[in-house]
């Protein structure tokens, strides 16, 4: 299983500082939350132009942008142009899944389909033949630092059964215990913000604790 450090910030300075730390970890990836105050209650940093700056500064780092926004089709191209390798969109907000997949192919990137805790996993079934990447969001969209929703484990198991070759990411409330449970349920990746970059002074040790829990 892959551990991906996640960033949930209000400012570019915060995003830049945490990206500098994420680049020191062996993941090779960084997950950045983008919220618009429409699909979510809160608003976070969300500038493709500034992501392009980060991509120039860290050309070997893969950026995964989690679009918790009301109109992902309107902005997805700007994020791929800025250097995102993978863009995560929500089933609850999309209108044209084919456009999203075609856009990812156009830019040589990947698109991941996510569901919030309140969305039944079986609504993903029509997309399991076209999407290769899925995310189970284990907390309400928006804020970092929330508790992992244990019902998410059943969603992971269901997805793994229905899409055995899919890549499944779990985001939200990740600790060594929940990372281990997610792996057992069938997840390939977990994204963690608070555990890695929260109260702990040593983010490298926090990352290794997560990595050790799924070894």
Catalytic residue among 33, 71, 98, 199: 33
Per DSSP, the three-state class of 111 is strand
| Helical spans, DSSP H, in 107-188 | 152-162, 176-185
The whole-angstrom separation of Cα 23 and Cα 21 is 5
The number of helices, as runs of H, and strands, as runs of E, in the chain is 8, 8
Catalytic residue among 36, 105, 171, 199: 171
Q: Is 98 a catalytic residue?
A: no
Residues 6+ apart with CB under 8 A from 31: 4, 5, 6, 7, 64, 66, 171, 191, 193
> How many CB atoms are closer than 10 A to CB 199?
8
Using alpha carbons only, give the angle 161, 145, 97 rounded to the nearest 5 degrees.
Answer: 45
Q: Is 71 a catalytic residue?
A: no
The whole-angstrom separation of Cα 101 and Cα 88 is 11
Hey, what are 108's tokens?
A: 């040589």
The whole-angstrom separation of Cα 205 and Cα 45 is 27
Which residues are part of the catalytic machinery? 33, 171
């Amino acid at each position: 299983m892959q551990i991906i450090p996640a960033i949930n910030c209000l400012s570019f300075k915060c995003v830049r500082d945490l990206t500098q730390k994420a680049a020191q970890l062996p993941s090779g990836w960084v997950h950045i939350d983008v919220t618009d105050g429409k699909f979510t209650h809160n608003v976070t940093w969300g500038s493709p132009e500034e992501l392009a700056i980060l991509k120039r500064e860290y050309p070997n780092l893969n950026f995964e942008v989690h679009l918790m926004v009301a109109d992902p089709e309107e902005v997805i191209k700007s994020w791929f142009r800025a250097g995102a390798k993978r863009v995560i969109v929500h089933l609850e907000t999309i209108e044209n899944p084919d456009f999203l997949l075609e856009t990812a192919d156009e830019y040589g990137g990947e698109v991941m389909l996510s569901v919030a805790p309140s969305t039944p996993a079986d609504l993903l079934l029509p997309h399991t033949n076209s999407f290769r990447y899925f995310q189970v969001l284990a907390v309400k969209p928006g804020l970092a630092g929330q508790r992992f929703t244990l019902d998410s484990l059943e969603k992971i198991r269901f997805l793994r059964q229905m899409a055995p070759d899919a890549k499944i990411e779990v985001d939200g409330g990740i600790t060594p215990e929940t990372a281990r449970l997610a792996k057992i349920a069938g997840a390939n990746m977990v994204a963690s913000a608070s555990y890695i970059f929260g109260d702990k002074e040593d983010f490298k040790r926090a990352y290794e604790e997560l990595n050790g829990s799924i070894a």
